[in-house]
Amino acid sequence: MAELRFSALKEVFKREPVVTVPPSKDISKYFGSHVFNLHKMEHYLSQEAFRVVKKAITDGKSLTRIEAQQVAIGLKAWAIENGATHFTHWFHPLTDGTAEKHDGFLEMGDNGHMVENFSGDVLVQSEPDASSFPSGGIRNTFEARGYTAWDVSSPVFIVGTTLCIPTIFVSYTGEALDYKAPLLKALSELDKAAVEVCQYFDKDVNKVFATLGLEQEYFLVDEALYYARPDLSLAERTLMGHQSSKDQQLSDHYFGSIPERVMCFIRDFECEAYKLGIPVKTRHNEVAPNQFECAPIHEEVNLAVDHNQLLMDVMRRIARKHKFRVLFHEKPFAGINGSGKHNNWSLSTNTGVNLLSPGKNPKSNLQFLTFLVNVIKAVNDSNEIIRASVMNESNSYRLGGHEAPPAIISVFLGTYLTNMLEDIVSRVTDKKMTPAEKTELKLGIGKIPEILLDNTDRNRTSPFAFTGNRFEFRAVGSSANCGAAMIALNAAVANQLKNFKKEVENIIKKGRNKDEAIFQVIKKYIIESRKVLFEGDNYSKEWHAEAEKRGLCNLKGVPESIKCYLNPNGKEVLVGSGIFSEKELESRCEVEYEKFTKKVQIEARVLGDLAINHIIPTAIRYMSTLLDNVKGLKEVFGDGEYEKMALIHKEMITTISDHISQIEKGVNQMVEERKKANVIEDSYKKSVTYEKKVKPYLQEIRYHIDKLELIVDDEIWPLPKYRELLFTR
């Protein structure tokens, strides 16, 4: 059995970097070459069609069939010129991946000749059926049809020989079955609400869009080693493995020079990303060995999420060429850092202003403070749904672990802004302010340093940190489709801004002027949001106690956390605004419970198999060797001397035998618990049972396996060890 491990290691030692040559040294020459962007549209579409698409993009509208027909003609010409033979509607089902079903352009023409065809109808809408995707009970098989419809705001692109059309995915009866449809609604709500608030400060603002820059962390493992670890290939995380003597203690991997073979992979996938118009910019070694990060320049949220999903896909594909496997799992290795996907998020206006960046004068700074405080209030009030949006099985191993934010969502502002907000609280009173008081207040906020970036003492432990001109939401998992987190956050902020506007208007009605009304509401929000503001060390034990006192949500269970979507606040924010129907929201929870159950089930099965078929036989083999040895000692040395010599062997034999029986017992009990859980009908109860009754065995069984790994002869250990997975490349 150990042969696979050793032949895998031999393969890795023979690897050479795979060098590929980019189309040009000049990235700008081929950036977006595979994307049907505005520039290409202008070239390939009629003037009329171009105008229509451009308008649809800005207005967030869809095209009529006739309009789509015009677009399809130009699009087809471009696609075929660039080697496409097929097209697909590309969408984000409620799995962690994307989906595509390819159809050829080829059709039978009228006189029996084959022709290439691509109509406006298939551009805007398709019926891929796709009945096997999770729907949380929305679709019964008799009405299993699902429809996809073109999202004009995300450009069409070509991968290989396939033209990919980004689409939303809805059921026959109109319910959303994906992340994109509700995300677009949340962003549109946010746009409307934010524009209204901007009107207090600048009448020229007619569009506000959220921006997102995603830092993607990942691990790389050599392909041969990956295949020698069934847990990695089936569950994307190691379910066993003793810690390597050296891993990240010395922080010598972090920002270190990128290994040559890895560099070739990175350059290669970056090149593919550029062709697809994904603006990847930053790359570096992360803290854990064989862990890396890449980050693009931020884009509008919907596009950024599409690009991130696409990027993960590209990385997986290109990794194979380099004989690597990319692990996007949040915690592939126990005991060292996991991977996250920091969501750098802000709000931008059509006038080019970043609303979370301090301005040059008191007026723009009041606007900045307004948006800053509203975001804080949104995170305070919608704490539980924002938290629900990032909680899932794989991320539950990361949150609260090494270097990862805890599962308590608090906001970090930095000393400067914290003091500034408290200053506002103390200065603003309910009484009408004197002109002198007003001037002083405005002078105060006028002094916010323009480049706060240099002033925020960055708190790396915060799950939601203000970093000078944006918030960085760090609790999102590396494997996640950020759609979920972005729906919750943007919907919460949209709802909050609507409430803000109402409150300000009420005060204005009572005869106060606009600025004073704004200050009063801001003051009220700061006071009401104090519980979510935390400047200290989020990793500390004290914070957990303190957070509990403050009443911040710190549910340990994943299904329990997900259920919070259905709290009154969740319903107000997500259903009240029309982003979800009640049925859709409930079905989303169902999908998440099921996903949780299935993932634990898979891990339990894989661990059970490995324990019984790989580990126990290996341990028994080693035990037999020791037993033979003891017998041999007895034969050669006879009773007296032998006793002393065999002592250590006997101890080892007993230890091994104990671990074996603990593993066996654990696996049997785990199987029994699974059987009991499997008959539970209610998906919530089932997932809770899986979490409480089955999941603990993963840790328990693993403990004994990891102990055995330390004792059993390395020559016969079947699975690549942590030191090999983390340090061989």
Catalog residues that contact ligand ADP under the rule CB under 6 A: 211-213, 215, 282, 295-298, 344-346, 354, 469-470
Q: How many CB atoms lie within 10 A of CB 719?
A: 27
- Minimum CB separation of residue 261 from ligand ADP in Å reads 23
The tally of CA atoms less than 13 A away on the side-chain side of residue 245 is 1
DSSP labels for 633-675?
Answer: HHHHH-HHHHHHHHHHHHHHHHHHHHHHHHHHHHHHHHHHHHH
Decide if residue 470 touches Mg ion (CB under 5 A). no
- Minimum CB separation of residue 433 from ligand ADP in Å reads 33
465 versus 726: smaller Cβ distance to ligand ADP: 465
- Binding part of the chain for Mg ion, among 62-70, 286-294, 338-346, 404-412 by CB under 5 A, reads 338-346
Q: Which of 586, 588, 656 is nearest to 626 (CA)?
A: 656
Which residue, judged by CB position, is nearest to ligand ADP in the bound state? 213
User: Rounded to whole angstroms, how far apart are CA atoms 70 and 51?
Assistant: 11
Q: Which helix (H) or strand (E) holds 625?
A: helix 616-637
The option from Mg ion, ligand ADP, none interacting with 469 (CB < 5 to 8 A, set by class) reads ligand ADP
- Tokens representing 68 are 């789509």
The option from Mg ion, ligand ADP, none interacting with 470 (CB < 5 to 8 A, set by class) reads ligand ADP
The option from Mg ion, ligand ADP, none interacting with 119 (CB < 5 to 8 A, set by class) reads none
User: Rounded to whole angstroms, how far apart are CA atoms 25 and 267?
Assistant: 12
The option from Mg ion, ligand ADP, none interacting with 563 (CB < 5 to 8 A, set by class) reads none
User: Rounded to whole angstroms, how far apart are CA atoms 613 and 374?
Assistant: 56
- Minimum CB separation of residue 301 from Mg ion in Å reads 17
Q: Which of 461, 483, 490, 529 is nearest to 390 (CA)?
A: 483
- Minimum CB separation of residue 58 from ligand ADP in Å reads 20
User: Rounded to whole angstroms, how far apart are CA atoms 289 and 336?
Assistant: 9
342 versus 729: smaller Cβ distance to Mg ion: 342
Could you tell me which residues are beta bridge partners of residue 345? 212, 471
34 versus 298: smaller Cβ distance to ligand ADP: 298
Q: What is the DSSP letter of 203?
A: T
- Minimum CB separation of residue 296 from ligand ADP in Å reads 6
The option from Mg ion, ligand ADP, none interacting with 383 (CB < 5 to 8 A, set by class) reads none
4 versus 263: smaller Cβ distance to ligand ADP: 263
- Minimum CB separation of residue 485 from ligand ADP in Å reads 14
User: Rounded to whole angstroms, how far apart are CA atoms 248 and 729?
Assistant: 16
User: Rounded to whole angstroms, how far apart are CA atoms 119 and 255?
Assistant: 50
479 versus 499: smaller Cβ distance to Mg ion: 479
User: Rounded to whole angstroms, how far apart are CA atoms 720 and 232?
Assistant: 11
342 versus 704: smaller Cβ distance to Mg ion: 342
287 versus 295: smaller Cβ distance to ligand ADP: 295
- Minimum CB separation of residue 343 from ligand ADP in Å reads 8
Q: SS3 of 406, please?
A: coil
Could you tell me which residues are beta bridge partners of residue 159? 162
Are 490 and 395 in contact by the 8 Å Cβ rule? The answer is no
88 versus 364: smaller Cβ distance to ligand ADP: 364
344 versus 370: smaller Cβ distance to Mg ion: 344
User: Rounded to whole angstroms, how far apart are CA atoms 511 and 534?
Assistant: 36
Q: How many residues bind Mg ion (CB under 5 A)?
A: 1
- Minimum CB separation of residue 471 from ligand ADP in Å reads 9
Q: Which one of 180, 341, 342, 563 is in contact with Mg ion (CB under 5 A)?
A: 342
Which residue, judged by CB position, is nearest to Mg ion in the bound state? 342
- Minimum CB separation of residue 296 from Mg ion in Å reads 12
Are 499 and 447 in contact by the 8 Å Cβ rule? The answer is no
346 versus 456: smaller Cβ distance to ligand ADP: 346
383 CA to centre of own chain: 18
Q: Which of 149, 525, 163 is nearest to 370 (CA)?
A: 525
- Minimum CB separation of residue 273 from ligand ADP in Å reads 13
298 versus 512: smaller Cβ distance to ligand ADP: 298
Q: What is the DSSP letter of 382?
A: T
Q: Which of 502, 382, 408 is nearest to 464 (CA)?
A: 408
User: Rounded to whole angstroms, how far apart are CA atoms 39 and 150?
Assistant: 19
- Minimum CB separation of residue 348 from ligand ADP in Å reads 7
The option from Mg ion, ligand ADP, none interacting with 724 (CB < 5 to 8 A, set by class) reads none
Residue type, 117: N
- Minimum CB separation of residue 342 from Mg ion in Å reads 5
The option from Mg ion, ligand ADP, none interacting with 201 (CB < 5 to 8 A, set by class) reads none
In the chain, % helix, strand, coil (3-state, to 5) comes to 55, 15, 35
DSSP labels for 583-619?
Answer: HHHHHHHHHHHHHHHHHHHHHHHHHHHIIIIIIHHHH
User: Rounded to whole angstroms, how far apart are CA atoms 564 and 571?
Assistant: 10
312 versus 604: smaller Cβ distance to ligand ADP: 312
282 versus 624: smaller Cβ distance to ligand ADP: 282
- Minimum CB separation of residue 410 from ligand ADP in Å reads 18
The option from ligand ADP, Mg ion, none interacting with 282 (CB < 5 to 8 A, set by class) reads ligand ADP
For binding to Mg ion (CB under 5 A), which residues are involved?
A: 342
